[in-house]
Amino acid sequence: MLNVTDKQKEDKIPPLLRLGFRPFFLFGALYSCLVIIIWSGLYTHPGMVSLTVPSLWWHAHEMLFGFSMAIVGGFLMTAVQNWTGVPGTRGSKLFAIFSLWLLARLSFWVDVPVWASLVLDTLFMACVAWSLGYRVVVTKRQRNYIFIPVLAIAALLNALSYGALLGEVAPPINQVWHSTLLWFMLLISVMGGRVIPFFTEKKLGIQVSSTPVWLERAIIAVFVLLIGVTLVSGTDNMVARGLLLTAGIAQCVRLYCWKGWKAYQVPMLFSLHLFYLFLPFGLILKAVVINPWASNLIWHLFAIGALGGVVLAMIARVTLGHTGRNVYQGPAVSWLFYALLISALVRVFGIWFWPVYTLELVAVSALLWTISYGWFAVRFGPMLSQARADGAAG
DSSP 73-137: HHHHHHHHHHHHSSPPP-HHHHHHHHHHHHHHHHGGGSS--HHHHHHHHHHHHHHHHHHHHHHHH
**CA angle at residue 299 from 316 to 54, to 5 degrees?**
95
Query: Average pLDDT in the 285-311 region?
Result: 97
- Asked if the model's pLDDT at residue 103 lies above 70, the reply is yes
Query: Average pLDDT in the 260-277 region?
Result: 95
Residues present in the chain in total: 394
- Asked if the model's pLDDT at residue 1 lies above 60, the reply is no
Query: Average pLDDT in the 104-126 region?
Result: 95
pLDDT digits (tens, 9 = 90+) for 360-386: 999 999 999 999 999 999 999 999 999
- Asked if the model's pLDDT at residue 3 lies above 80, the reply is no
pLDDT digits (tens, 9 = 90+) for 255-264: 999 999 999 9
Residue 234 CA: distances (Å) to CA of 161, 196, 228 = 15, 30, 9
End-to-end Cα, the chain, rounded Å: 8
pLDDT digits (tens, 9 = 90+) for 316-331: 999 999 999 999 988 8
Per-residue confidence band for 10, with pLDDT thresholds at 50, 70 and 90: confident
Residues of the chain above pLDDT 70, percent = 98
DSSP state of 65: I
**What's the pLDDT score for residue 209?**
81
| Closest by Cα among 210, 119, 187, 108 to 159 | 119
Name the pTM for this structure.
0.94
Residue 14 CA: distances (Å) to CA of 22, 94, 217, 318, 387 = 11, 11, 41, 19, 8
Query: Average pLDDT in the 343-368 region?
Result: 97
Report residue 360: phi and psi, to 5°.
-65, -40
